[in-house]
Each structure stands twice: as C-alpha cells, then as structure tokens.
Amino acid sequence: MVRDICFHIVDLVQNAVAAGARTVTVRLSDSADSDEIKLSVEDDGRGMDADALAKARDPFYTSKGFKKVGLGLPLLEATSCACHGDFELASQPGSGTSVRARMEKSHWDCPPLGDLSDTMLELLVTLDEVNLEFSFHGDRGQFDISSAQVREQAGSLHLSHPDIYSFLRDYFAANLRPLLE
C-alpha cells in the first residue's frame, strides 16, 4: 500500500507527461456521504497499443529505460481492489490514456488523501509545458482550476513567479483547503 492518494496523482500525471500529453485532466471526488473516493486521470498523450496496455499493469514492465520496475499502475490497481473498489485503464495509440480508480473510503486499507492542496499547487506551477485541469468534488463543494485559466491571468509571468505562486497558494488555501477539512 502507498502513503496517500496524492502519491498516485503524482505518478499518473508523470506518466501522462512522459507520454507527451499536452492536456492532463485530474478529477478527484472524495465523499464520506457516499463512502467513496474516485480518481481519474485522462491525457491526450501518445497512448498505448493493446500489447503495451496489457503489460502496463505488470510491476516488472516499464518503458522508462533507466529502471527495471514500473510500480505506479499496479500499486493503484492493488489499492483499489483491496478497498472493494475497481480500476480501469483504457488507451488508444495516438489519442491518449485514461485511468480510473475507485475505493471504498471507510475501508481499513484505503489510503488518506495526503496534502492535496500542496500537491496540486506544485504540479500546476512546475508543469510548464502542459495544460493541467483539476477538479475536486467533496461533500462540502467543488473546486476547479486549470493552468490555461491561470496563464490567462498571469500574462507573461511564469506560474512559478513569486507573485503568481503566492496568489495561487492563497487561492488554494481559501478555496480548496476548506473543502478538505
């Protein structure tokens, strides 16, 4: 089992970026009322053919030449299945990949969310070349943000510029953090 759901989000976004995605969409819903955590990450990267798709769930398969194991997807599948949930991986060469995982929130083995606000903030400001779209849905409300929307406001400034970074940190603190308490 992994430390938290944020670990999985970072892994899935890194997978998408490594596949050359221009847009990566992360959706997370976390509800005690419906006792469910649902995570989906979709990208428009190079995708996988049927052979690569079948291998992607194997911990001893990776296309990243510098290592011998590829643990991200198998760990998420194992976590979802252990938590009475399910896991779906779909991909088409040339048109992208979609990963969906669902877990029973109250299950003993269900990992905590982790620091979702800081994780998404860091991904947003560090992924320079990508449009990251993020939406969170919880029992207390919804939060949506995208790098395209922030770049429009930021003009010529980079998202990691201190002024933009501090604006975003306050924005996440005011709008996302209260939904997570």
Q: Which residues bind ligand ATP (CB under 6 A)?
A: 11, 15-16, 19, 43, 45, 47-48, 56, 61-64, 69-74, 97
| CA geometry: angle 117, 122, 123, nearest 5 deg | 100
Nearer to Mg ion, 15 or 147 (CB): 15
Nearer to Mg ion, 98 or 175 (CB): 98
| Binding test (CB under 5 A) with Mg ion, winner from 72, 96, 111, 138 | 72
How many separate helices (H) and strands (E) can be counted in the chain? 7, 6
Write down the least CB distance from residue 91 to ligand ATP, Å. Answer: 6
Nearer to Mg ion, 15 or 91 (CB): 15
Write down the least CB distance from residue 178 to ligand ATP, Å. Answer: 31
Residue 111, contacted partner among Mg ion, ligand ATP, none, CB below 5-8 A by kind? none
Smallest CA-to-CA distance from 8 within 38, 48, 50 is with 38
Residue nearest to Mg ion (CB): 72
15 binds Mg ion, rule: CB under 5 A = yes
The b-or-e profile of 114-134 (16+ CB within 10 A means b, else e) is bebbebbbebbbebeebbbbb
Write down the least CB distance from residue 93 to ligand ATP, Å. Answer: 9
The b-or-e profile of 24-42 (16+ CB within 10 A means b, else e) is bbbbbbbeeeeebbbbbbb
Give the span between the Cα atoms of 72 and 15, in whole angstroms: 9
Residue 166, contacted partner among Mg ion, ligand ATP, none, CB below 5-8 A by kind? none
